[in-house]
Each structure stands twice: as structure tokens, then as C-alpha cells.
């Protein structure tokens, strides 16, 4: 500290002495007054330990910056690990999604095959039902034609018999029919 003050006095005293006119060490010389004010200012700074405070503040700031750097490094490492974790999870989810898509494709193919089988069986049932309806309609038509033919034949036979048959023949037929029914009932 003494060396610093001596250096300041030497440098301060030498250069104003060359520039000023008259005696340097008089209160009339402004350069000397400024030098004294500067020395007093520096002395006050050292008396109140301002350089120590400045050094302490700088050390405190350096420590704060160092802790922020350490925190930034820790956050950076944490971000990297999170990124790696999310990338790993993304790969797992992508694999799972691919498996789900593949399973869905297989299920869709199986469902299509089942639908094809169901459609074929439905077509076969409907075809069988249609054939049954056709057969039933055909049998009904044949039955109607027979019934109509029988009705026509009976009415024609009735008309022919009515023209050719006499009363005696009709009575004979009625008696024979009654006897025939009587035999079948007993």
C-alpha cells in the first residue's frame, strides 16, 4: 500500500511539475491542489477499505457466476439426459405404434376373411331359401292345376253323366255308394 502511494506521488508530482509554471508545492498551483485532492481521495478509499469491498464484491460476483455456470452445466446435463430419455421413449412408442398397426392390419385381414365366409354362407342360405320358395311355389302351382283339373273333370263328368244317366241308374249308384261307405266305416 505504501509502495502504491509512493508511486502515485512520484508520477503525480513529476508530470505536473513539468507542465506548471512556478513552484509546484504551493496551494496556488492547481496541479498541486488536484494532486492533493486525488491523494486524499485515494487515502479515503483505502481507509474505508473500498478496494477490499470491491475485491469482495468481485469475488462474490465471481462466485455467483461460477455457481450459475455450475447450475447451467447441471441443467445442460439434465436436459441431455431428458432428451435421451424422450428419444428412447419415442423409439419405444414408435415400435409399439408399428406393432399396433401391424396387429390392426392382421385383424382387418382376418375380419375380411370372416366377412367373406359369412357372406358366402349368407348367400348359400338365401339361395337355399329361394330354392325352397321356388319348390313350394311350384308344388302349389301343380296342386292348383290338379285341383282345377279335378274340378273341371268332375263338372264335365257330372254334365256327361247327367245327360246319359237315367233316374233308375242314379238310384242304383246312390245305393251302391251308401253300401260302400257303410262297409268302410265298420
Name the domain count of the chain. 1
Average of per-residue pLDDT values in the chain: 85
Asked whether residue 47 is assigned to any structural domain, the reply reads yes
Dump pLDDT digits (tens) for 49-63.
999 999 999 999 999
Judge whether residue 34 has pLDDT over 90: yes
Dump pLDDT digits (tens) for 146-155.
888 888 888 8
Asked whether residue 74 is assigned to any structural domain, the reply reads yes
Lowest mean pLDDT among 12-21, 23-32, 49-58, 112-121: 12-21
Asked whether residue 7 is assigned to any structural domain, the reply reads yes
- The DSSP string of 54-96 is HHHHHHHHHHHHHHHHHHHHHHHHHHHHHHHHHHHHHHHHHHH
Distance CA(96)–CA(176), nearest Å, equals 95
Q: Which domain holds residue 76?
A: 2-84
Amino acid at each position: 500500500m505504501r509502495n502504491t502511494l509512493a508511486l502515485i506521488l512520484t508520477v503525480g508530482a513529476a508530470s505536473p511539475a513539468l507542465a506548471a509554471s512556478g513552484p509546484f508545492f504551493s496551494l496556488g498551483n492547481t496541479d498541486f491542489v488536484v494532486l492533493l485532492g486525488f491523494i486524499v481521495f485515494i487515502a479515503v478509499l483505502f481507509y474505508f477499505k473500498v478496494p477490499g469491498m470491491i475485491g469482495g464484491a468481485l469475488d462474490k460476483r465471481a462466485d455467483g457466476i461460477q455457481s450459475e455456470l455450475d447450475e447451467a452445466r447441471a441443467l445442460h446435463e439434465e436436459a441431455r439426459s431428458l432428451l435421451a430419455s424422450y428419444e428412447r421413449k419415442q423409439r419405444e412408442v414408435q415400435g409399439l405404434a408399428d406393432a399396433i398397426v401391424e396387429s390392426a392390419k392382421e385383424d382387418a385381414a382376418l375380419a375380411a376373411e370372416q366377412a367373406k365366409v359369412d357372406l358366402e354362407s349368407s348367400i348359400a342360405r338365401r339361395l337355399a331359401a329361394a330354392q325352397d320358395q321356388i319348390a313350394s311355389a311350384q308344388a302349389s302351382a301343380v296342386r292348383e292345376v290338379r285341383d282345377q283339373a279335378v274340378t273341371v273333370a268332375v263338372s264335365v263328368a257330372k254334365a256327361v253323366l247327367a245327360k246319359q244317366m237315367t233316374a233308375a241308374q242314379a238310384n242304383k249308384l246312390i245305393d251302391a255308394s251308401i253300401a260302400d261307405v257303410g262297409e268302410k266305416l265298420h
